[in-house]
Amino acid sequence: MSVIDGFRTRAEGLRLLQDRRLPVLVTAGLFVLMFGFGAFRYQSYGFLDAQVFMNLFIDNGYLLVAAVGATFVILTGGIDLSVGSVIGFTTMLTAWLVEKQGLPLLLVAPIALGVGAFGGYLMGYVIHHFEIEPFIVTLAGLFFFRGLCLVISKESISITDPTVDRLAQTHVPLPGGSFLSIAAVISLAVLALAFYVLHYTRFGRRVYAIGGNEQSALLMGLPVAGTKIAVYTVSGFCSALSGLLFTLYIQSGDPLHAVGLELDAIAAVVVGGTLLTGGSGYVIGTLFGVLVLGLIKTLIQFEGTLSSWWTKIATGVLLFAFILIQRTMTGRRRT
């Protein structure tokens, strides 16, 4: 522990390490560095085109929404492994209702959101009232929703509905000639809403309080039960919304859509500086986490010669680095 020599630098180092904003700043710095690297290396390939930056949001909007939901859960010290399955199920349900049953998207979207939120509610209920580990309950949720996908159909259903098509193709123009997709705009709106809820409402403060110390929160008289269940409901809702955005992005339902996406979401949250033990972190960090993960994919695309599995390895390495940073932070604070 005595790597830093000199008392004064050590004290300063301690203060810096204890700042809760540090991980977010590190992630933001990393993003800027990586972006600068890309800009430098792929200058002649148009990396600095504003649209490349906007594509980060277009290609990762669904991940952002899922990761925002996961942030709520992780802030309370829980975990939700059912994210990817709920997304896959939502794409399936939407595609099936729209294509095979001929329902209008306007009706299907609320149904899908409701199902996702209800699934989250049930999981939260079991986790809180029967004191079963969130890990195992949401694992069952993972199986359950993935299984439901297959029950609907084993084959993928492509969506040809004109409304979906129009929504997916709509460009929201931005100054400078670039554009965003509707899904990207919705995901940014969700981020803004989550930021407001977490930092400016009572519910948000309760989420942090429970993550900090559930026992104390209970003794303070906070409604722990309601908040914990609500958090999983939020996550289920976000997953379903993410599934809708994914449907727009990919325009089909497939029982194998978004397999393992929960890991990406958790990785984004961790890289964004939220403590897995709960109680500390910012949803804005999650945005940077998602952007960093997205940027890795973009860089690998621009490099051209690197294969897709490097994405996974790079994600793993990043995850490790950020968990180490977290570990040093919490370790210092406790002792």
Q: Does 331 bind another protein (CB under 8 A)?
A: yes
Q: Does 241 bind another protein (CB under 8 A)?
A: no
Q: In the chain, which residue ranges form alpha helices assigned H by DSSP?
A: 7-18, 22-41, 50-75, 83-95, 105-129, 134-152, 162-169, 182-200, 202-212, 214-219, 224-250, 261-271, 283-303, 309-334
Of 8, 44, 101, 154, the residue at the interface with another protein (CB under 8 A) is 154
Of 276, 283, 296, 299, the residue at the interface with another protein (CB under 8 A) is 276
Nearer to another protein among residue 32 and residue 151 (C-beta): 151
- Cα separation, 297 vs 292, in Å, equals 9
Interface with another protein in residues 69-88 (CB under 8 A):
79
Of 22, 34, 139, 168, the residue at the interface with another protein (CB under 8 A) is 139
Q: Does 98 bind another protein (CB under 8 A)?
A: no
- Cα separation, 84 vs 172, in Å, equals 27
To another protein, the closest distance from the beta carbon of 188 in angstroms equals 26
CA distances from 304 to 45, 47, 298 (A): 11, 13, 10
How many residues interact with another protein (rule CB under 8 A)?
47
User: Token digits for 107?
Assistant: 């009706």
> How far, in whole angstroms, is CA 51 from its chain's centroid?
22
The values of phi and psi at residue 171, to 5°, are -105, 130
To another protein, the closest distance from the beta carbon of 156 in angstroms equals 14
CA distances from 96 to 44, 90, 157, 312 (A): 44, 10, 7, 31
Q: Does 118 bind another protein (CB under 8 A)?
A: no
To another protein, the closest distance from the beta carbon of 173 in angstroms equals 37
Nearer to another protein among residue 15 and residue 154 (C-beta): 154
Q: Do 282 and 272 meet the contact criterion of CB atoms below 8 Å apart? A: yes
Nearer to another protein among residue 135 and residue 196 (C-beta): 135
To another protein, the closest distance from the beta carbon of 78 in angstroms equals 11
Of 267, 268, 284, 296, the residue at the interface with another protein (CB under 8 A) is 267
Q: Do 282 and 274 meet the contact criterion of CB atoms below 8 Å apart? A: yes
To another protein, the closest distance from the beta carbon of 192 in angstroms equals 28
Closest CA to 29 of 324, 322, 331: 322
Q: Does 193 bind another protein (CB under 8 A)?
A: no
User: Token digits for 38?
Assistant: 């890309």
Q: Does 122 bind another protein (CB under 8 A)?
A: yes
To another protein, the closest distance from the beta carbon of 193 in angstroms equals 27
3-state secondary structure of 335: coil
To another protein, the closest distance from the beta carbon of 276 in angstroms equals 5
Residues in the site for another protein, rule: CB under 8 A? 79, 122, 125-126, 129-133, 135-137, 139-144, 146-148, 150-151, 154, 255, 263, 266-267, 270, 276-277, 307-313, 315-317, 319-320, 323-324, 327, 331
